[in-house]
């Protein structure tokens, strides 16, 4: 069960594209008032669409909020963040833009307001370098769709206070998430370090003509992807090692690491030809679905996987039970 008393009264969302809109949806469904600002004329439509998707997903999960929070759109950062308990910044991944926006946020909040950035990989020490109160800046790196996936990586910079980390952990827990404190600050944190390695290999496989986008996705979704959603890498490999466990697994497969099977330190050049090949293969694979349809299929599948995990009280399923409080 989450600590309801830790729920904030008001959250500010700065930048409401894919991620900002989904943060707004999660907080609204938790009954928290949300103020959003985004200069794009289409932002209100994007948020409405994502909130609709989130409602559909939570209903399918059997979670009906007693009361949804109130959503307000405002046309300035100042108006959005002024009374917020936590400000979540979700503008494009451009360092200079983020630093300007974080400075503007800081100008409008008191020194105690927690400021979180959704950055996928920029170090908080760099983001907070020009702030007057850098101690309240954390990274809260979520996963798309934020209203369904519970993981959020919480990362502090050199100047972040331990109190800010604790507050962020408590707030995200109250949002029904599974916050993980990334204790050592590195570029791209934990998840995107892993994902980039897989992504780079996938690009090589397409570039070398070894496999199409669909064949690579099939290897994941019919194979290890199913395992990964309920046990991670190490727990699965422990089983793969049999009674000998990890030690046996490492002695059996350790030597293959130096053969080498992968090209991890190299990146294929993203030429126009490679980009076109990936685009054409992706169209052939998924072009018969609209993005809206793919989102709905993804969400329905994720909900049913989460429900199955909840029935077994395992992994991410345990966060669903927390939301039923």
- Which distant-in-sequence residues (6+ apart) come within 8 Å of 197 by Cβ? 264
Its sign, for the CA torsion 21, 23, 28, 32, is: negative
Shortest distance in whole angstroms from residue 141 CB to ligand NAD:
6
Give yes or no for residue 39 binding ligand NAD (CB under 6 A): yes
Instruction: Give the single-character DSSP code of 30.
Output: T
Tell me the closest approach of the beta carbon of residue 15 to ligand NAD, in angstroms: 3
Q: Which stretch binds ligand NAD (CB under 6 A): 16-24, 58-66, 161-169, 239-247?
A: 16-24
**Cα 247 to Cα 97, 213, 243, 257, distances in angstroms:** 47, 34, 10, 15
Site membership for ligand NAD, residue 18 (CB under 6 A)? yes
Nearest approach, Cβ of residue 317 and ligand NAD (Å): 22
Stretch that binds ligand NAD, among 10-18, 175-183, 196-204, 284-292 (CB under 6 A): 10-18
If binding is defined by CB under 6 A, does position 76 make contact with ligand NAD? no
Stretch that binds ligand NAD, among 32-40, 207-215, 244-252, 304-312 (CB under 6 A): 32-40
Comparing CA positions, the residue from 11, 16, 37, 38 lying closest to residue 115 is 11
124, 134, 142, 150: which one contacts ligand NAD (CB under 6 A)?
142
User: What contacts 24+ positions apart, CB below 8 Å, involve 141-144?
Assistant: 141/189, 141/191, 141/192, 142/19, 142/22, 142/23, 142/118, 142/177, 143/191, 144/18, 144/19, 144/22
Report residue 293 as tokens: 């349809």
- Residue facing ligand NAD at closest CB distance: 17
Please identify, using beta-carbon distances, which residue of 186 and 311 lies nearer to ligand NAD: 186
Residues 6+ apart with CB under 8 A from 221: none
Applying CB under 6 A, does 17 fall inside the site for ligand NAD? yes
How many other C-beta atoms are found inside a 10 Å radius of the C-beta of residue 219?
14
In the region spanning residues 91 to 120, those forming contacts with ligand NAD, defined by CB under 6 A, are 91-93, 101, 118-120
Taking the complex as a whole, the smallest distance from the CB of residue 42 to ligand NAD amounts, in Å, to: 8
Range in contact with ligand NAD (rule: CB under 6 A) among 87-95, 127-135, 210-218, 282-290: 87-95
- The correct pick among 11, 16, 105, 320 for binding ligand NAD (CB under 6 A) is 16
136: left (phi over 0), alpha (psi -120 to 50) or beta: alpha
Beta bridge partners of 99: none
Q: What is the DSSP string of 49-88?
A: HHHHHHHHHHHHTT---SSPPPEEE-SSHHHHHTT-SEEE
Among the listed residues 19, 205, 206, 302, the single contact to ligand NAD using CB under 6 A: 19
Q: Does 14 bind ligand NAD (CB under 6 A)?
A: yes
Residue 292: CB atoms within 10 Å:
10
Could you say whether residue 38 binds ligand NAD (CB under 6 A)?
yes
**Closer residue to ligand NAD in complex, CB, 50/303:** 50
Cα 52 to Cα 57, 91, 173, 240, distances in angstroms: 9, 22, 23, 41
Toward ligand NAD, which CB reaches closer, 7 or 36? 36
Give the count of residues interacting with ligand NAD (CB under 6 A).
Answer: 23
Binding span for ligand NAD by CB under 6 A among 3-11, 34-42, 124-132, 166-174: 34-42
Q: Is residue 140 close enough to count as binding ligand NAD by CB under 6 A? A: no
Residue 128, burial from CB neighbour count under 10 angstroms (0-12, 13-18, 19+): buried
Site of interaction with ligand NAD (CB under 6 A): 14-20, 37-40, 43, 90-93, 101, 118-120, 141-142, 144
């Amino acid at each position: 069960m989450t600590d309801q008393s830790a729920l904030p009264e008001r959250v500010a969302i700065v930048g409401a594209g894919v991620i900002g809109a989904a943060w707004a949806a999660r907080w609204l469904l938790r009954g928290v008032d949300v103020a959003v600002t985004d200069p794009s004329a289409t932002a209100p439509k994007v948020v409405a669409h994502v909130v609709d998707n989130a409602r559909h997903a939570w209903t399918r999960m059997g979670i009906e909020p007693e009361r949804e929070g109130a959503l307000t759109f405002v046309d300035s950062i100042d108006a959005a963040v002024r009374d917020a308990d936590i400000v979540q910044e979700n503008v494009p991944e451009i360092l200079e833009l983020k630093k300007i926006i974080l400075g503007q946020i800081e100008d409008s909040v008191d020194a105690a307001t927690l400021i979180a950035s959704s950055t996928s990989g920029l170090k908080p020490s760099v983001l907070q370098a020009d702030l007057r109160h850098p101690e309240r800046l954390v990274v809260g790196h979520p996963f798309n769709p934020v209203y369904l996936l519970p993981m959020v990586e919480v990362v502090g910079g050199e100047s972040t206070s331990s109190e800010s980390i604790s507050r962020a952990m408590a707030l995200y827990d109250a949002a029904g998430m599974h916050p993980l404190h990334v204790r050592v600050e590195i570029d791209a944190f934990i998840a995107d370090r892993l994902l980039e390695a897989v992504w780079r290999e996938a690009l090589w496989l397409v570039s070398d003509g070894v496999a199409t986008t669909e064949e690579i996705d099939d290897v994941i979704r019919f194979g290890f992807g199913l395992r990964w959603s309920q046990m991670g890498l190490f727990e699965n490999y422990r089983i793969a090692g049999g009674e000998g466990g990890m030690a046996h697994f490492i002695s059996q497969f350790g030597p293959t690491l130096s053969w080498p099977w992968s090209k991890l330190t190299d990146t294929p050049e993203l030429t126009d030809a490679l980009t076109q090949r990936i685009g054409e293969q992706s169209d052939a694979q998924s072009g018969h679905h609209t993005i809206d349809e793919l989102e709905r299929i993804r969400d329905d599948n994720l909900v049913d996987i989460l429900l199955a995990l909840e029935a077994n009280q395992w992994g991410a399923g345990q966060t669903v039970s927390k939301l039923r409080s």
